[in-house]
Structure 1
Amino acid sequence: MSALLAEIERFYDAVPRQRADAEDHGPLTLFVRRGDGWPYYARPTLGHRGPLSAEHVAAVRARQRELSIPEAFEWVLETTPGLDAAAEATGLRVRRCPLLVLRGEPVQPALPKDISLSVITAHDPDLAAVQAVAHVAFSALSTAAGPAGPAERDAAAATLPAGYVAVWHASLVEGTMVHAAARGRGGALAGPLCAGSYQHAQDVAEIVGVGTLPAARRRGLAAAVTAVLARHALDAGIRTVFLSAQNDDVARVYERVGFRRVATACIAEPPEQEERVPGLEP
């Protein structure tokens, strides 16, 4: 394992512990969220070097069903190469996503004059709308433009569960997450149009949940928000900034900002279970 991937593994183990209890299941660790918010997953146990079998995966899945939480697993393929076969042997679907690391300084793309960029504060009047952008964006997981826009965003903002809103606000107050948004200054595409975040631990930051309303796509907003977050992380003293892309098309967006593919992030879940978007919620 390279030093870089070892650093990312330590980060992956540290971040969920901020809001979850860690259950030891031999070669796998199940993170069980405390309170409201997006549920966590199981990961390879940090430092485990022994075999990992389908029986290990099946045992954790049984525990997840017992707790009524998603049967979800996340890991880095190059770090734990046997887990994909073990997961698939239990009937899980494995998605393989590009994992990219920032090399050098982030490139801030030019934006239309009617767009502003900002880091979000806990007192932002658009807080619910910014949070709702991700829910609308990830309901249409392709990168194609579509009709869903500010009206759908505002409708989603009005129905966000109170617990999710509280956790998101707490992440801002505590500084465990940093959020940024691109906003339209007026007209049909007014207000938050694209949003993203980064979570950090041990001088490592992961940019997560970058999503654009379908009606505002193809304007460079995701790249711009990603660059703002990367710049903020570096200015805060973060040494390593990385992210996982949904697919190769999305990875190319991040490559324009200065990210380079170094590994493969895997997500395993039952075929009938709704696709997880890592980091959508803090």
Structure 2
Amino acid sequence: MDARVQRSVIANLSLRPNAIEVGPFVIGWDPTTDSRFVNYATPQLDAVVTPADVTTLVAAFRDIDRVPRLEYVTSCAPGLEQQLIDAGFTVEARHDYLVCSPDSLTVPATPDGFEVAEPATDAQRAGLVAVQNEAFGEEPVATPADIARVRRVQDNGGVVMLVRNGDGVCVAGGQATPPSAGVSEVAGIAVRKECRRRGIAGALTAAITARLFATGVEVAWLEASGTDSWRVYERVGYVPTGKRLYIALD
């Protein structure tokens, strides 16, 4: 499973507007944002990495004016972490990733008074991005580039869904990357603070996952940012499976 998840990371980064192959790495570069969570690199599977490769990778990040940063499944590059640390990188986080299959998925009912839907207009996409930005500690606004990024996920075959209340206001949102070899990452699950602990996150996660499986995806995976989200994901059928590393040179 580790290799399948790492392949999906490589495929997702390769869909960035200006993806760059740098030796044994792929950098996902989106010139419209300087977000470190959008612009980062990952190693190719079975790559043999040398200190010179790391130096070249750092230079490539400097050339595009982005923070050198990687995310990857640790077992797929077992010696890479030490090489990066030797080059001055610092570990940001170590995360477990969780996996769901069609057989393990449980889809709860959507809480009364709320509706799960796919954004069909740019105004709806903007509302979704604003909710995500607010939930992740950023300004609750959406730029034209943000909206275009969501539209691109949809156009490339990914899944984007929102939750709106009875007044039609977006209160939650999330997405899944365009599938690659039967695998897709679910990410960006966000709920407005005043609407949390009502079952919305679980219903949204399950709805996105169910839509993936309906299109033929075999494996959905995600990462939990804390104990509360971990419980939400486990309740709808996600199971801890492997380890991922976030590491950067600030």
Partner of 1:126: 124
Paired residue total: 244
Is 1:216 the counterpart of 2:195 in the alignment?
yes
Partner letter of residue 39 of structure 2?
Y
Change (3 A) 1:250 1:88: farther
Give the aligned residue type for 2:128: V
**In structure 1, distance between residues paired with 2:144 and 2:123:** 16
CA distance in 1, matches of 2:49, 2:57: 15
Q: Deviations over 1:121-148 (max 9, x none)?
A: 3x375221112111001118xxxxxxxx
Q: CA RMSD in A?
A: 2.4
CA deviations on 1:49-91 (whole Å, 9 max, x unpaired) are x3554x5434422321231113220101122222333333314
User: Tell me, what secondary structure is at the counterpart of 2:29?
Assistant: strand
Q: How much has 1:47 moved relative to structure 2?
A: 3.0
| 8 Å contact kept, 1:97–1:247 | no
Distance of aligned partners of 1:82 and 1:47 in 2 relative to their CA distance in 1, 3 Å threshold: closer
CA distance in 2, matches of 1:131, 1:29: 26
Where in structure 2 are the equivalents of 1:186-225 lying within 5 Å? 186=167, 191-199=169-177, 200-225=179-204
Please say if 1:252 is aligned against 2:216: no
Give the Cα separation in 2 of the matches to 1:224 and 1:45. Answer: 34
| More off after superposition, 205-214 vs 22-31 | 22-31
**Residue pair 2:18, 2:28 contacting (<8 A) in 1 also:** yes
Unaligned 5+ segments in structure 2 are none
Partner residue in 1 for 2:92: 94
- Report the more deviating stretch, 201-210 or 85-94: 85-94
Give the equivalent residue in structure 2 for 1:184: 165
Tell me whether 1:85 sits opposite 2:63 in the alignment: no
Equivalent residue, structure 2, for 1:70:
67
Q: Which amino acid aligns with 1:130?
A: L
Task: Please report the TM-score for the alignment, with normalisation by the length of structure 1.
Answer: 0.77
Q: Where in structure 2 are the equivalents of 1:226-237 lying within 5 Å?
A: 226-237=205-216
Structure 1 stretches of 5 or more lacking a match?
Answer: 141-154, 273-282
Q: CA deviation at 1:161?
A: 2.1
Q: Secondary structure at the match of 1:156?
A: coil
- The 1:56–1:92 alpha-carbon spacing in structure 2 relative to 1, beyond 3 Å, is farther
Evaluate the alpha carbon distance shift between residue 228 and residue 52 of structure 1 in structure 2; reply closer, same or farther with a 3 A threshold: farther
Q: State the 1:105 CA deviation.
A: 4.1
Match of 1:264 among 213, 223, 243: 243
Contact in 1 for aligned 2:202/2:233 (Cα 8 Å): yes
Residue 24 of structure 2 is aligned to residue 27 of structure 1: yes
- In the TM superposition, what is the alpha-carbon distance from 1:229 to its structure 2 partner? 0.5
For 1:47, the equivalent position in structure 2 comes to 46
User: In the TM superposition, what whole-angstrom CA distance separates every residue of 1:204-235 from its partner, at most 9, and x where no partner exists?
Assistant: 11101111122221112111110000100111
**Aligned CA distance change for structure 1 residues 106 and 124 (closer, same or farther; 3 Å):** farther
Cα distance in 2 between the residues matched to 1:52 and 1:258 = 39
1:170 aligns with 2:149: no
Change (3 A) 1:79 1:249: farther
2:148 & 2:25 partners in 1: Cα distance? 30
CA distance in 2, matches of 1:88, 1:222: 36
CA gap of 1:216–1:79, structure 2 versus 1, over 3 A, is: same
SS of 1:74 mapped into structure 2: strand
1:13 matched to 2:10: yes
Q: Distance in 2 between matches of 1:117 and 1:161?
A: 23
Secondary structure, aligned partner of 1:117: strand
TM-score, reference length from structure 2: 0.86
Instruction: State the secondary structure of the residue aligned to 1:99.
Output: strand
Is the Cα contact below 8 Å between 2:49 and 2:80 reproduced in 1?
no
